Chain A
């Protein structure tokens, strides 16, 4: 089989498809429809009776929206790193420990730890401080889409497996393409650095994303409500249960000792 086999029609030069935006992203209307929980129009905008959005477009959308959501944090990190003239994680650790110590002024341990962290952040990095702040902020910014992609693939693989075991006839590409729209409401989590509004936006974004994820799984698998809910919730319950059980076990061991 050859990937280079193609037909060139006269008068129509072969176009570099991968250079077009639509190759990498669904259009804005599809994302808007997903945000309104109108998944029928988001997944099948031309009413062809099948899901036309691709997994590739899903990855592109997660990458772009992840970067977009990370912009407020990027700006906050740049502000912090540039003002201290060091790598952002060091500056952030020093700032949060100083805040913690300020909350417990009578605690000498907290004060000493904060003082040491402040001293560490104050040491000149090996590269110019400006560059260290810029590069580290950029790296942390990239973690936004990378984290979203990780959650999407890892959680999705388990949910898709469970749905399949429960009788869903879906294929993996369609499943991942449909569930990628969860990135749309998750964009709200990018507002987290804003005081007061941030935490509310994060909660709203996660709840909204959960509802959209449930709808996407239901639409793409064709399962009934109970089995869809089981497929979506069970991996989360197991993930939450493992550390809880481990902590309980450790606690019991400690008590026994």
Chain B
């Protein structure tokens, strides 16, 4: 026994068996293998002593790095642009000229520019302040919510389709659905953008593989389970939007 590894010498070969728990240093390999839909990382997560804890750490680690890259990338992007005050002054000046040409009231054009500016500058972090740091919290937060939602949904629906995995193993395998977030590390470069559709579809493919392995379902049922979880997510989001709309319409949030 040496450094957590069991070694045994045969006549012409040395067999090494790693009997330690999974280590965070194995995560890059897991993420890389999950991206190419390899079975190994899913089986390793399912067979782990503590799959949900391993999954939790993996989700936080990958999404935390992605959030950090987005935050730094947003800050760098804002730094490549002119100072917001100077840019806004130029835009307002142009707006006034345009209003004069089109015989529109200058005040209305200015108001529209100010409203669009406020929304864009806040959502993109261009205005500065703490909004740059938002992805450091929002990306891991959303990733954790999605991981739990996907795992619980996949467990329930998978069981209904005849799967025999436990919630713990499903949580472990489904944690790998965050693997595509690793592409967000490239967002550190200003104006480099990762397609959110790609992230969603790639994550769905990995989720399909996770359900296939964790629930031991055939491809058709695993695919149906994956699609059902996504459909459920859409329904939940729509319900939340309707609830927000109703609340807003009845005078809330004002």
Query: Quick check: B198 and A153 within 8 Å, CB to CB?
Result: yes
In chain B, positions 21-61 with a C-beta closer than 8 Å to chain A are: 26, 29, 32, 35-38, 40, 43-44, 47
A126 cross-chain contacts in B, Cβ below 8 A: 78-83
Query: Quick check: B90 and A5 within 8 Å, CB to CB?
Result: no
Q: Smallest distance from the beta carbon of A70 to chain B beta carbons, Å? A: 11
A87 to B38, CA, bound (A): 40
From B41, which residue of chain A is reached at the shortest CB distance? A3
Query: Quick check: B82 and A54 within 8 Å, CB to CB?
Result: no
Binding site of B, secondary structure by majority: helix, strand, loop or mixed? Answer: helix
Query: Quick check: A153 and B202 within 8 Å, CB to CB?
Result: yes
Query: Quick check: B79 and A127 within 8 Å, CB to CB?
Result: yes
Count of residues in A whose CB is under 8 Å from the partner chain: 53
Task: Indicate whether A120 sits within 8 Å of B192 (C-beta atoms), given known contacts A127-B79, A136-B80, A146-B183.
Answer: no
**Interface membership of chain A positions 161-200, coded 1 if the CB is closer than 8 angstroms to chain B and 0 otherwise:** 1001000000011001000000000000000000000000
A55 to B209, CA, bound (A): 15
Judged by a CB distance under 8 angstroms, whether B160 is at the interface is no
Q: Which of B16, B83, B183, B219 contacts A123 (CB 8 A)?
A: B83
Among the 9-residue stretches B92-100, B141-149, B169-177, B244-252, the one with 4 or more Cβ atoms under 8 Å from chain A is B92-100
Q: Smallest distance from the beta carbon of A169 to chain B beta carbons, Å? A: 10
A155 to B40, CA, bound (A): 26
Judged by a CB distance under 8 angstroms, whether B102 is at the interface is yes
A151 to B33, CA, bound (A): 20
Judged by a CB distance under 8 angstroms, whether A103 is at the interface is no
B38 cross-chain contacts in A, Cβ below 8 A: 173
Binding site of A, secondary structure by majority: helix, strand, loop or mixed? Answer: helix
Count of residues in B whose CB is under 8 Å from the partner chain: 56
Query: Quick check: B80 and A87 within 8 Å, CB to CB?
Result: yes
Q: Smallest distance from the beta carbon of A10 to chain B beta carbons, Å? A: 5
Judged by a CB distance under 8 angstroms, whether B1 is at the interface is no
Judged by a CB distance under 8 angstroms, whether B205 is at the interface is yes
**Interface membership of chain B positions 75-90, coded 1 if the CB is closer than 8 angstroms to chain A and 0 otherwise:** 0111111110011001
Query: Quick check: B189 and A142 within 8 Å, CB to CB?
Result: yes
Query: Quick check: B29 and A143 within 8 Å, CB to CB?
Result: no
A119 cross-chain contacts in B, Cβ below 8 A: 90, 93-94
A residues contacting B by CB (< 8 A) are: 1-10, 54-56, 59, 86-90, 108-109, 112-113, 115-116, 119-120, 123-127, 131-132, 135-136, 138-140, 142-143, 146-147, 149-150, 153-154, 157, 161, 164, 172-173, 176
B residues contacting A by CB (< 8 A) are: 5, 12-19, 26, 29, 32, 35-38, 40, 43-44, 47, 76-83, 86-87, 90-91, 93-94, 97-98, 101-102, 183, 186, 189-195, 197-198, 201-202, 204-205, 209, 219, 223
Would you list 19 pairs from A and B whose C-beta atoms are within 8 A, ordered by A residue?
Answer: A2-B44, A3-B44, A4-B16, A4-B18, A5-B16, A8-B14, A54-B36, A87-B191, A109-B98, A109-B101, A109-B102, A116-B97, A119-B94, A123-B82, A126-B78, A126-B81, A142-B186, A150-B197, A150-B198
Question: Which are the 5 A-B pairs with shortest beta-carbon distances?
Answer: A116-B94, A4-B18, A123-B82, A150-B198, A139-B191
Beyond the given A116-B91, A154-B197, could you list 9 further A-B residue pairs with CB under 8 A, ordered by the A residue number?
Answer: A2-B18, A9-B13, A109-B98, A116-B90, A119-B93, A132-B79, A139-B191, A150-B194, A150-B197
